[in-house]
Amino acid sequence: MRTRVVGLVGTVLGGLAVVAAVTADAWVPLTPAPLPLDASFETESLGEQVRYLDPARLAEVTGAEVTVSVRVRGDEDTGAADDDTAVWEFTSETGDADGTLVDTRTTVVCLDRRSAEAEDCVGEAVDGEPTDVRGLTVRFPADTQERDYDLWDPTSRQPLPARYVGAERLDGVQVYRFEQEVPEQVIRSVPVPGPLVAAGADEVEAEVVHRSTRTVLVEPVSGVVVSEEESPVTALRSPDGADGAVLLAGTFGWTEASVADALARAEDVRTQCGELRTAVRWGAGGTGAVLLVLGALLAARGTSTRSDDARDEPARVPVPSA
């Protein structure tokens, strides 16, 4: 009897363990993966019918095919990098199909390895100039939420809201869409030849005016940006407020190769985040299977023993009464 009870209890516990394994994704939390110290990846955006100012000839070019390449490298050997902080360097190069370099920029930033937000450090800079970088940069946090985030705009050098728009699917993967609008603003003043702003003087101090719209798709579990589209307009303005030459204007979107590479990186991080779920799934499933088998064997043995005991019991012979 006791063996049969133990077997039934084992069977019930085994069934519960199997159910726990099957439903692990619903109740086991993801383990956030911190930003790597040794990050290394590259993205490429392509723009067609782009308008820009050739810096060598100081002449406007229209209808060009222009590429923006961004290389990201983590500097794990710098003193600012530790268990809580990653130091990443982003190098951006903009050039047309015939090799003309339109623009280049290098940003060094310290990132909180869990929130992915920029934080103070000694080495943060843009093109070697100390700069207080703030907000998110090229990565969102693991377990990205359905809310707005401050996203760093490298041209105006300030964080601006990237508004959560909704969820959609990209190549079968659920992603979150964020949209950022950079309002028109003067970002700096530079001396330029007068003809670039329709001025008669040989050289004038012109304003650089910038505006942009930006759409970012993020795989939410990993926080990896998997696609991006941006439409910047950066131009000169004369001292009297007249429009001058366009420095860069067009719409740039990630290439298919960059999207595929980003989705693969997101899947790698998703795997790291789901290690606890995987461990629970296999552990509970294996334990449940063993308990089910043992429980069934013990229950069967208990039933068999009980039957044998019943057969071995001596027959009762009625005793005649006086």
How high is the pLDDT of residue 281? 47
pLDDT tens by residue, 158-190: 999 999 999 999 999 999 999 999 999 999 999
pLDDT score at 144: 95
- Parent domain of 86: 32-273
**Are both 49 and 104 inside the same structural domain?**
yes
In this structure, the answer to whether residues 279 and 269 fall within a common structural domain is: no
Dihedral of CA 83/282/224/144: which sign?
negative
Angle at 82 (CA atoms; ends 108, 88), nearest 5 degrees: 20
Is residue 124 in a domain?
yes
Pair (133, 281) in one structural domain: no
Domain match, 47 and 151 both: yes
Q: Are 283 and 184 found together in one domain?
A: no
pLDDT tens-digit map of 44-74: 999 999 999 998 888 999 999 999 999 999 9
Please count the structural domains in the chain: 2
pTM, whole model, 2 decimals?
0.78
Say if 3 falls within a structural domain. Answer: no
Are both 290 and 167 inside the same structural domain? no
Residues 260 and 221 reside in one and the same domain: yes
Instruction: Please identify every stretch of the chain with a pLDDT value under 70, giving residue numbers as ranges.
Output: 1-32, 273-322
Residues 19, 93, single domain; the answer is no
Do 44 and 20 lie in one domain? The reply is no
157, part of any domain: yes
> Can you give the pLDDT at residue 200?
73
Measured distance CA(176)–CA(114) in Å, rounded: 19
What pLDDT was estimated at residue 314?
57
Distance from C-alpha of 149 to C-alpha of 164, rounded to nearest angstrom: 8
Judge if 240 and 115 occupy the same domain: yes
Contact 70, 92 (CB under 8 A): yes
pLDDT at 99: 86
Report the candidate in 8, 39, 69, 125 with the shortest Cα–Cα distance to residue 252.
69
CA atoms of 271 and 278, how far apart (whole Å):
9
